[in-house]
């Protein structure tokens, strides 16, 4: 079982006196696998929600009701996104992360 772990890496800086690259105290921040997968989930949810965003705009601008089926569909997308983000954050290893990603149920969003 492969564990997800983060290694702390530091920025390098050229030292002209030694003519070599040397570590600094500045940490190098990179995105890990979980961050990438959460971003993918957010993108997918945003893509689905974008299809019906005009209903929300119309509601805000002209007080025209959003159809119940659209409200339900949008709520399902948000709920699935929330579920996946929580599960990804809680994945203890790569296998668990794979299971989460394979459990996506966006429905017919």
**What dihedral do alpha carbons 47, 53, 54, 60 form, nearest 10°?**
-160
Instruction: Read off φ and ψ for residue 26, nearest 5 degrees.
Output: -80, 125
Q: What mean pLDDT is predicted for residues 33-44? A: 94
DSSP string, 6-58: ---EEEEEEETTTTEEEEEEEEEP---HHHHHHHHHHHHHHHHHHTTHHHHHH
**pLDDT for 4 beyond 70:** no
- Whether 60 has a pLDDT exceeding 70, the answer reads yes
Residues 10-18: what's their mean pLDDT? 84
Q: Which tokens in the block code for residue 4?
A: 């997800």
pLDDT classification of 28: cutoffs 50, 70, 90: low
- Confidence at residue 7, expressed as pLDDT on a 0 to 100 scale: 57
Average pLDDT over residues 6-30: 77
Determine the pLDDT at residue 71: 97
Give the C-alpha separation, 48 to 55, whole Å: 13
Averaged pLDDT, 1-17: 68
Enter the DSSP assignment of 1: -
Query: What confidence tier does 63 reach under pLDDT thresholds 50, 70, 90?
Result: very high
Give the percent of the chain with pLDDT over 90.
Answer: 64
Rounded Cα–Cα distance for residues 89 and 2 (Å): 16
């Amino acid at each position: 079982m492969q564990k997800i772990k983060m290694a702390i890496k530091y920025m390098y800086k050229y030292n002209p006196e030694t003519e070599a690259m040397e570590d600094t105290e500045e940490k190098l921040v990179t995105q890990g696998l979980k961050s990438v997968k959460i971003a993918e989930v957010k993108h997918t949810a945003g893509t689905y929600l974008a299809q019906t965003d005009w209903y929300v705009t119309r509601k805000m601008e002209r007080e025209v009701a959003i159809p119940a089926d659209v409200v339900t569909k949008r709520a399902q997308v948000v709920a699935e996104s929330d579920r996946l983000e929580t599960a990804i954050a809680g994945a203890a290893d790569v296998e668990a992360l794979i299971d989460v990603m394979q459990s996506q149920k966006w429905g017919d969003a």
